[in-house]
């Protein structure tokens, strides 16, 4: 039986107190709804239908995966929401209903829920909560699920039940459609609850199967900023646990944030207050000190990143050292053993093997050969106010401190730039460039007197 997924994402999320759609708030750097879409995608579903409010252009612009967008003009409960999607679902399929604000649900749990429905049953995901608060309760008799009662409609005994309904369920489409047609709105909210189909299924001797989630957090929905923070911490705890299981040492995993996908080899060390964003690859023995932010970059074996360094869109070869307080901007490529030191900024800069800029420099739109030394205070003037221009530096070049290289310009192999020079034309192989005003010493010079206010 084919599988089709329906994700409910039309809620306003007023308790978030935000102009942004609730399901677009991020967990681990990714919208909550995208987490759910990705978990469903791993099931190989024929189609994924997302039920949204009218328009919902913000969701359509952010969510990937080519879902079928379905509008719910009026919000009359979860049963009404699912009903908007069912006309586009194949009659012979199993329907799996998910929620866009439950971002930590796993593919394994969803597969178990969908698999149980393939036998003709109505299956639902439940969980045991230490404090169920106002969640819907699972009512069992003799261990068999009988119905779900919403908190507002529950009596005192029912509110004492700790097994909750996650809202996630699956059923053959024909069964689901038939049960939904019988759902009424005689409840405290005057809404059509999808959960009412459980009691109806029991009455009609349709099997009801419960699938336990692995943890509370897997089925925790996000309705406010506090819950968002709790889910974020749970997500980060799982990600860092996976990294440590693969051989990464963390000084304090509670103070490392991953907002993307990290591939890490053995014996990587990550200190506190490190943020990894996008796609990050860390080679064996990489050492990342505190306060660093690394985005969409690859760090080779043995790279050392000193404190408070920012790396974005860069490829760093083995044995390099960066920082402290360095900024490596997109397009930077550092060859083996290169060094970018404190308060150095690079942008679209390629450093050859062993080349270094130890401190206080800006290297932009520049190619350096092997074994170059860039002195403190050096800048490449790559922008003329309209266009960017390139600086080309050969092998073994030495640039003295406080030099200005005005692009486009070339420094050939083994050339030397005297400190304090402004270089505007090509420097030949092995040549010394001196581009500075002649010093004058004026004898008998008198300092100006300080004027009274």
- Spatial separation of the C-alpha atoms in residues 241 and 246, rounded to whole Å: 9
CB contact at 8 A, 400 and 422: no
Angle between the N-to-C axes of helices 173-180 and 78-85, in degrees from 0 to 180, rounded to the nearest 10 = 130
Cα dist. 123→6, 78, 115 in Å?
A: 15, 16, 9
**Token pair of 20, please?**
């942004």
CB contact at 8 A, 247 and 230: no
Per DSSP bridges, beta strands 30-31 and 26-27 are antiparallel
- Spatial separation of the C-alpha atoms in residues 300 and 288, rounded to whole Å: 12
Is residue 359 annotated as part of the catalytic site, yes or no? yes
The sign one gets for the Cα dihedral 411, 415, 419, 420 is negative
**Token pair of 158, please?**
């029912």
The closest alpha carbon to 89, from 27, 5, 157, belongs to 5
Catalytic residue, candidates 49, 359, 389, 395: 359
Element spanning 364, H or E: strand 356-368
Q: How far is CA 146 from the centre of its chain?
A: 40
**Token pair of 325, please?**
């307080």
Cα dist. 19→22, 24, 84, 301, 410 in Å?
A: 9, 11, 25, 44, 52
CB contact at 8 A, 336 and 351: no
Cα dist. 46→95, 126, 173, 200, 338 in Å?
A: 10, 25, 14, 28, 50
- Spatial separation of the C-alpha atoms in residues 127 and 141, rounded to whole Å: 17
Give the residue numbers marked as catalytic: 359
């Amino acid at each position: 039986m084919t599988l089709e997924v329906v994700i409910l994402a039309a809620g306003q999320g007023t308790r978030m107190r935000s102009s942004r759609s609730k399901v677009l708030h991020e967990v681990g750097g990714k919208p909550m709804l995208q987490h759910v879409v990705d978990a469903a995608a791993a099931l190989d579903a024929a189609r994924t239908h997302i039920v949204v409010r009218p328009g919902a252009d913000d969701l359509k612009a952010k969510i990937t995966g080519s879902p079928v967008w379905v509008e719910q003009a009026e919000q009359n409960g979860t049963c009404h929401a699912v009903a908007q999607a069912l006309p586009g679902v194949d009659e012979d399929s199993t329907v799996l209903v998910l929620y866009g604000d439950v971002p930590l649900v796993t593919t394994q749990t969803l597969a178990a829920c969908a698999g149980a429905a393939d036998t003709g049953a109505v299956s639902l995901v439940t969980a045991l909560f230490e404090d169920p608060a106002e969640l819907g309760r699972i009512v069992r008799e003799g261990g068999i699920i009988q119905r779900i009662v919403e908190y507002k409609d529950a009596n005192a005994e029912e509110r004492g039940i700790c097994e909750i309904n996650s809202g996630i369920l699956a059923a053959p489409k024909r069964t689901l459609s038939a049960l939904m047609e019988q759902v009424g709105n005689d409840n405290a909210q005057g809404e059509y609850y999808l959960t009412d189909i459980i009691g109806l299924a029991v009455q009609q001797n349709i099997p009801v199967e419960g699938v336990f989630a692995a943890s509370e957090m897997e089925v925790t929905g996000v309705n406010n900023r506090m819950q968002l923070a709790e889910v974020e911490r749970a997500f980060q705890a799982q990600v860092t646990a996976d990294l440590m299981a693969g051989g990464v040492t963390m000084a304090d995993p509670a103070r490392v944030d991953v907002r993307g996908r990290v591939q890490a080899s053995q014996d990587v060390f990550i200190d506190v207050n490190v943020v990894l964003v996008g796609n990050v690859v860390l080679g064996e023995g990489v050492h990342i000190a505190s306060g660093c932010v690394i985005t969409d970059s690859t760090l080779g074996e043995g790279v050392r990143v000193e404190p408070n360094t920012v790396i974005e869109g860069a490829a760093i070869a083995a044995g390099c050292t960066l920082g402290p307080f360095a900024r490596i901007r997109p397009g930077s490529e550092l060859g083996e053993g290169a060094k970018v030191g404190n308060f150095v900024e690079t942008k679209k800069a390629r450093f050859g093997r062993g080349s270094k800029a130890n401190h206080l420099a800006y290297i932009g739109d520049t190619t350096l050969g092997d074994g170059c030394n860039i002195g403190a205070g050096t800048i490449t003037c790559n922008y003329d106010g309209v266009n960017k221009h390139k600086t080309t530096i050969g092998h073994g070049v030495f640039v003295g401190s406080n030099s200005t290289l005005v692009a486009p310009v070339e420094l050939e192999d083994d050339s030397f730039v005297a400190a304090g020079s402004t270089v505007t034309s090509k420097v030949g192989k092995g040549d010394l460039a001196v581009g500075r005003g002649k010093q004058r010493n004026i004898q008998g010079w008198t300092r100006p007197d300080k004027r009274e206010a």
